[in-house]
């Protein structure tokens, strides 16, 4: 355990990452820290730079597949970076990177603010949602993002607009970058009846629960939809529902989900992803692109 310079926060060694990802797989982080404020976050970057360590950013861990070998360098977890501020004058909400997206959606609904009803069933954080342009029900982050604050490895803070992020379907220029989202500002529409917004939010959540498998660990949708097709439809039509490698299985309820049926390894899931890609490409001449971020060594 190492204390960060000028901080009460400490960096831990060999922290298991399986408990920090929704797949519940993955080896340890060489070093791990979970700062609770911007100062500690900046100190974490500084420490990694001083030690010559690569930095990996970990939000809610809901869209990640981490290698069984773990990750070298420093893993910075943002799950404790939480705060929200609703501005009634502008109709804008500012949320820290670690805020769970579903919680933010409920908070907005309880105030009668429209715009985030679609986000209630997405088990990620604000930071991850901004990076990957999360979306559902024909809405996405790019539709309502005003700006986002990002921290560079040099610990410089910068406010970035959606136009500067190069948004497209489920991706942005921040994906794969070493810049960390610290907070985001969203434009919502206040003034509605809270009961109506809560009802719509509940309907969205119920729809996801009835069409997607939430009873076993997964990362949500594994592949991007290759428009005009749905990835799940292509996988289902290829006959892969229920196909299993080790303890990893293509879900019966929704074929674009891969489930950890208990005791799966990251390697099981990785092999199943590759197998699905190969089979769909063989049948449809379409190469499915993973939506899940794959981190670490798998070969």
- Predicted confidence at residue 221, as pLDDT, reads 93
User: What's the pLDDT tens digit per position in 267-295?
Assistant: 999 999 999 999 999 999 999 999 999 99
187 and 91 in contact (C-beta within 8 Å)?
yes
User: What's the pLDDT tens digit per position in 83-119?
Assistant: 999 999 999 999 999 999 999 999 999 999 999 999 9
User: What's the pLDDT tens digit per position in 151-170?
Assistant: 988 889 999 999 999 999 88
Paired sense of beta strands 28-33 and 71-77, if any: parallel
User: What's the pLDDT tens digit per position in 247-266?
Assistant: 999 999 999 999 999 999 99
Rounded to 10 deg, the angle between the 194-211 and 101-110 helix axes is 150
- Predicted confidence at residue 177, as pLDDT, reads 85
Q: Sketch out the chain's domains with CATH numbers.
A: 2-77 (3.30.43.10), 84-211 (3.30.465.10), 231-295 (3.90.78.10)
- Predicted confidence at residue 100, as pLDDT, reads 95
237: tokens are 């039509």
Q: How would DSSP label each residue in 4-59?
A: PTTSS-EEEEEEESGGGSTT----EEEEEE--SSHHHHHHHHHHHHHHT--EEEES
Average model confidence (pLDDT) across the chain: 94
Section 126-140 average pLDDT: 93
User: What's the pLDDT tens digit per position in 21-59?
Assistant: 999 999 999 999 999 999 999 999 999 999 999 999 999
User: What's the pLDDT tens digit per position in 56-88?
Assistant: 999 989 989 999 999 999 999 999 999 999 999
225: tokens are 């939809």
**DSSP H or E segment with residue 250:** strand 248-250
**pTM of the model as a whole:** 0.90
Q: Which residues are catalytic?
A: 170, 221, 291
User: What's the pLDDT tens digit per position in 170-198?
Assistant: 899 998 888 999 999 999 999 999 999 99
């Amino acid at each position: 355990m190492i204390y960060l310079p000028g901080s009460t926060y400490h960096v831990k060694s060999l922290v298991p990452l399986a408990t920090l990802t929704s797949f519940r797989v993955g080896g340890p982080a060489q070093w791990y820290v979970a700062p609770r404020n911007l100062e500690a976050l900046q100190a974490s970057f500084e420490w990694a730079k001083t030690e010559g360590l690569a930095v990996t950013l970990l939000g809610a861990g809901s869209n990640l597949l981490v290698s069984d070998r773990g990750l070298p360098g420093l893993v910075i977890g943002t799950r404790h970076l939480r705060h929200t501020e609703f501005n009634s004058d502008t109709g804008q909400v500012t949320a820290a990177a670690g805020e769970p997206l579903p919680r933010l959606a409920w908070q907005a609904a309880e105030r009668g603010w429209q715009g985030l009803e679609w986000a209630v069933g997405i088990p990620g954080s604000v930071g991850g949602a901004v990076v990957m342009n999360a979306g559902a029900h024909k809405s996405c982050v790019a539709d309502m993002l005003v700006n986002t604050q990002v921290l560079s490895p040099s610990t410089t803070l910068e406010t970035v607009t959606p136009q500067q992020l190069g948004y497209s379907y489920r991706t942005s220029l921040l994906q794969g970058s070493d810049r960390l989202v610290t907070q985001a500002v969203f434009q919502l529409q206040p003034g509605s009846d809270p009961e109506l917004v809560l009802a719509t939010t509940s309907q969205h959540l119920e729809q996801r629960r009835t069409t997607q498998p939430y009873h076993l660990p997964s990362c949500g949708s594994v592949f991007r939809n290759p428009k005009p097709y749905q990835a799940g439809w292509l996988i289902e039509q290829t006959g892969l529902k229920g196909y299993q490698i080790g303890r990893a299985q293509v879900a019966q309820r929704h074929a674009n989900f891969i489930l950890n049926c208990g005791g799966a390894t990251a390697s099981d899931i990785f092999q199943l992803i590759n197998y699905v890609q190969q089979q769909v490409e063989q049948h449809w001449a379409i190469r499915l692109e993973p939506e899940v971020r794959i981190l670490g060594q798998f070969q």
